[in-house]
Structure 1
Amino acid sequence: MRATLSPAARLHRPSEYAAALKGRRVARGALLVVSTPRERPEADAQARLGMVIAKRFAARAVTRNTIKRVIREAFRHRRASLPQRDFVFRLHSPVAPGSLTQLKKQLRAEAEALLDRVQSS
């Protein structure tokens, strides 16, 4: 059986993304920024993930999909220990050309560091 991130753990509506992106920036790394809405979550809320990976920063679809896959996996492993809020990961700077293996290692380390900051805030 594959380990997946359930639909209840993801953001779906543009209004959910807009609220998180207008909210406060929780953490920033070399490639990614994590934002969350300012309003308090509902009582039965759980941590949910949204991603904005722009084509202008990662031109190749393979690169964008790799970025999403790495972020999704890091979030899935940490989801139970995160605050019950919506989190949007946004790519804010261009990805340097190189191998996908190097990119995966860099992104995994950055995603883990950002999630540590989110968890402690």
Structure 2
Amino acid sequence: MHKTDEFSSVFAFRRVVRGRYFALHYCPNEAGKPRLGLVVAKKLAKRAVQRNLVKRIGRDVFRHACASLPAYDLVLRLSAKVADVTKLTMREDMHSLFERLPRQAGDTRG
């Protein structure tokens, strides 16, 4: 996802799964396949290197989990500082969020 209104519609749907470092916002989409958007605030990851690393890991975890995900628009948002967090810990947190998503696009109990 790239457009502001796509992100806004996901946030407006108000469904979220929270992990230790990330929040995964979701809403059903019409595309028939999952789509991902990433939000990494400068407040939580000061350096551009950190922000880019978080996004790169997020895209990679999504790419591997994509086949098992329902048709959702997803926004993975960083919700805690990641200054001294390992890459493995970030991957595990993201992976657990994708696993905790409701399996049916119509099932929004979260």
The answer, yes or no, to whether TM exceeds 0.5 is: yes
AA paired with 2:49? V
1:83 aligned residue: 70
Deviation digits for residues 56-81 of structure 1, max 9, x if unmatched? 00001111111111111010001111
Partner SS state of residue 12, structure 1: coil
Once the two structures are superposed, the pairs formed by residues 33-72 of structure 1 within 5 Å of their partners are: 33-37=23-27, 40-42=28-30, 44-72=31-59
TM-score by length of 2: 0.85
Residue 82 of structure 1: how far off its partner (Å): 0.3
Contact 1:81 1:119 in 2 (8 A): no
Q: What percent identity do the matched residue pairs reach?
A: 38
Structure 1 regions of 5+ residues with no counterpart? Answer: 1-10
Structure 2 regions of 5+ residues with no counterpart? Answer: 104-109
- 2:86 & 2:51 partners in 1: Cα distance? 11
Deviation digits for residues 9-56 of structure 1, max 9, x if unmatched? xx011000001112233310111001113xx432x4210000000000
Residue 103 of structure 1: how far off its partner (Å): 2.2
Higher Cα radius of gyration = 1
More helix, by proportion: 1
User: What is the aligned length?
Assistant: 104
RMSD over equivalenced CA pairs, Å: 1.6
